[in-house]
Amino acid sequence: MADKVKRRNYFIKPDIQGLLILKIFMLVFFCCILYAVILACFSTDSMTITYENNNLMLGKTPFILFKDMMKAQGVFIVSGGIGAVIFALMISHHFAGPLYKLERCMKLMLEGDHSFTIVFRHNDREQELADVINRYNRKVSSDISEMRTTIAALGEKLSLLDVSKPDSAQNGVAEAAHLVTQLQEKLHQYIIQL
């Protein structure tokens, strides 16, 4: 069973999450306004009689119902808006958290640290991207380890090189050239932009 990790910070990426929350709240607000306008348009040709506080009121339906409709719409906008904000915050955690973690890991990679593994929560998005980055980190780490080993062997061969013995020097230079070729092959696996 996946371990449950609770977020300590509700706004992980405030710019992204805030924009999503604002858009969902505006959607709720405009839906309420649209509903009121559509109701008013469909009921313009009807008359309504209401009895309120010992007063009998007669008039066109949109004007008679306007005050009550605004009260109901206000309640729905506030309650629906709060619900939409909570919903958007919960949904945004599944992509804002991974984005934050990926951004932090990329900064570590720029600093030369490839020792981490990206782990997301069970329902978080972008797990495939994290897996690709983890495979990339393992490959780069493995290649760097091989190059370090080759460089250490090259340094050892060069330190043991005895210039006074021509055969030993020639063999040492040949072994050093072989190690340099291995390093070049490993480095040529990477395509870089200059």
Q: Name the residue among 73, 62, 88 with its Cα closest to residue 29.
A: 73
Total structural domains in the chain? Answer: 2
Q: Residue 194's Cα: distance from chain center in Å? A: 29
Note the pTM of the prediction, 2 decimals. Answer: 0.59
88/30 Cα distance (integer angstroms): 17
Do 106 and 131 fall within a single domain?
Answer: no
The domain boundary residue, chosen from 66, 81, 115: 115
Would you put residue 7 in left (φ > 0), alpha (ψ -120 to 50) or beta?
Answer: beta
Do 105 and 136 fall within a single domain?
Answer: no
Do 147 and 99 fall within a single domain?
Answer: no
Domain of 25 in residue numbering reads as 9-115
Q: For residue 27, what are the CA distances in angstroms to 19, 24, 41, 161?
A: 12, 5, 21, 76
Q: In a structure prediction context, what are the per-residue pLDDT tens digits for the chain, which is 194 residues long?
A: 445 556 567 777 788 888 888 888 888 888 888 888 887 777 777 777 776 777 777 777 777 777 777 777 788 888 888 888 888 888 887 778 888 888 888 898 888 888 888 888 877 778 888 888 889 888 888 888 888 888 888 877 777 776 677 777 777 777 778 888 888 887 777 776 65
Do 152 and 111 fall within a single domain?
Answer: no
The domain boundary residue, chosen from 115, 145, 170: 115
Do 164 and 68 fall within a single domain?
Answer: no
> Does residue 143 form part of some domain?
yes
Do 104 and 152 fall within a single domain?
Answer: no
Residue 59, φ and ψ in degrees, nearest 5? -175, 180
Do 88 and 32 fall within a single domain?
Answer: yes
In degrees, to the nearest 5, what angle opens at C-alpha 28 toward C-alphas 27 and 30? 65
Do 97 and 143 fall within a single domain?
Answer: no
> Does residue 121 form part of some domain?
no
The domain boundary residue, chosen from 91, 115, 139: 115
